[in-house]
């Protein structure tokens, strides 16, 4: 089963905008059968309930962020327990925008991953190098450290729940993407690190996807050719027509 994840980020600024988005999306989904593809949308927290109520089982919902504690005096935070009670099945952990603007570190991300799984939420762990790290040829080192530190304490029997998104930071919100060969190399490396940590049998269970400037035009090069298990889409997921076009291509 392939996965197509739409990260709506901090968008849809009013109930009206949300309703317009949902109505366009439902129109695009009418009559579509995405048999081989799981479509997952990550709206802002405040829209989660409306998305769940409005969309059929065809679309799963997930969160862009969460805290690692279940409840208590943590003003302003959202717990994974709250998310699972709302029907969330997935949540991002360690997106580069969280690392950059909210200074999230691998140690905290690993706590989040464990907390998500404890609450039945499949974590989507984002890893990837910055432009400078790429120029310094540190890609392999960066990805490998992120994986080792973020997956610390994760039980290998839970690996089938985990999605690893290779998201080179320089390709996010830009209009450039790595070559299919570079993406394939990253995928091989990610799998190798997983094998080193968890052993071959379990490492095969984790899904590895690509994210960063994905659109219908480059889908072949960033997902189909390097044989990824799916994709994480930012900007294009705000356009229901494009999102469903991509999902259909992945599904074929």
194 binds ligand PGA (CB under 6 A): no
Instruction: Tally the residues of the chain.
Output: 252
Which residue in 25, 43, 213, 244 binds ligand PGA (CB under 6 A)?
Answer: 213
Q: How far apart are CA 1 and CA 219, in angstroms?
A: 17
Pairing of strands 37-42, 59-63: parallel
15 binds ligand PGA (CB under 6 A): no
User: By C-beta, is 193 or 232 nearer to ligand PGA?
Assistant: 232
Pairing of strands 163-166, 207-211: parallel
Active-site residue 167, yes or no?
yes
Neighbours of 9 (CB within 10 A): 17
Segment 148 to 167, residues that bind ligand PGA, using CB under 6 A:
167
Segment 94 to 113, residues that bind ligand PGA, using CB under 6 A:
none
Name the one range near ligand PGA by CB under 6 A: 36-44, 113-121, 188-196, 211-219: 211-219
Q: Which residue blocks in the chain are alpha helix, DSSP H? A: 15-29, 48-54, 80-85, 96-101, 106-118, 131-135, 139-150, 180-198, 200-203, 219, 240-251
Please name the residue that has the structure tokens 């910055």. 130
Name the one range near ligand PGA by CB under 6 A: 116-124, 153-161, 179-187, 208-216: 208-216
Between the two ends of the chain, the Cα-to-Cα distance in Å is 11
User: By C-beta, is 60 or 235 nearer to ligand PGA?
Assistant: 235
Number of residues that bind ligand PGA (CB under 6 A): 12
User: By C-beta, is 123 or 211 nearer to ligand PGA?
Assistant: 211
User: By C-beta, is 230 or 234 nearer to ligand PGA?
Assistant: 234
Dihedral (C-alpha) 100, 122, 230, 179: value to the nearest 10 degrees? 30
Which residue minimizes CB distance to ligand PGA?
Answer: 234
Name the one range near ligand PGA by CB under 6 A: 10-18, 199-207, 231-239, 241-249: 231-239
6 binds ligand PGA (CB under 6 A): no
Q: How far is the CB of 212 from ligand PGA (least distance, A)?
A: 5
Q: How far is the CB of 98 from ligand PGA (least distance, A)?
A: 10
Q: How far apart are CA 131 and CA 78, in angstroms?
A: 32
Give 251: exposed, middle or buried? Use CB within 10 Å, 0-12, 13-18, 19+.
middle
Q: Please identify every residue annotated as catalytic.
A: 95, 167
Residues making contact with ligand PGA (CB under 6 A): 7, 167, 172-173, 211-214, 232-235
């Amino acid at each position: 089963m392939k996965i197509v994840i739409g990260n709506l980020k901090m968008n849809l600024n009013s109930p009206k905008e949300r309703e317009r988005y949902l109505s366009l999306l439902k129109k695009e989904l009418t009559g579509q059968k995405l048999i081989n593809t799981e479509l997952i949308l990550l709206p802002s927290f405040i829209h989660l309930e409306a998305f769940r109520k409005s969309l059929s089982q065809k679309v799963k919902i997930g969160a862009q962020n969460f805290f690692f504690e279940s409840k208590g005096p943590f003003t302003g935070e959202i717990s994974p327990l709250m998310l699972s009670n709302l029907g969330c099945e997935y949540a991002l952990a360690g997106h580069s925008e969280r690392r950059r603007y909210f200074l999230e570190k691998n140690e905290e991300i690993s706590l989040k991953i464990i907390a998500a799984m404890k609450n039945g939420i499949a974590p989507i762990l984002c890893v990837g190098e910055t432009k400078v790290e790429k120029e310094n040829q540190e890609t392999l080192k960066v990805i490998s450290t992120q994986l080792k530190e973020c997956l610390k304490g994760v039980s290998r029997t839970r690996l089938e729940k985990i999605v690893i998104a290779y998201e080179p930071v320089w390709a996010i919100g830009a209009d450039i993407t790595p070559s299919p060969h570079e993406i394939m190399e990253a995928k091989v490396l990610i799998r190798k690190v997983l094998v080193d940590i968890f052993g071959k049998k379990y490492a095969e269970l984790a899904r590895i996807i690509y994210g960063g400037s994905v659109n219908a035009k480059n889908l072949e090069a960033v997902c189909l050719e390097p044989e990824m298990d799916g994709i994480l889409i930012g900007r294009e997921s705000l356009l229901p027509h494009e999102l469903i076009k991509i999902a259909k291509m992945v599904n074929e």
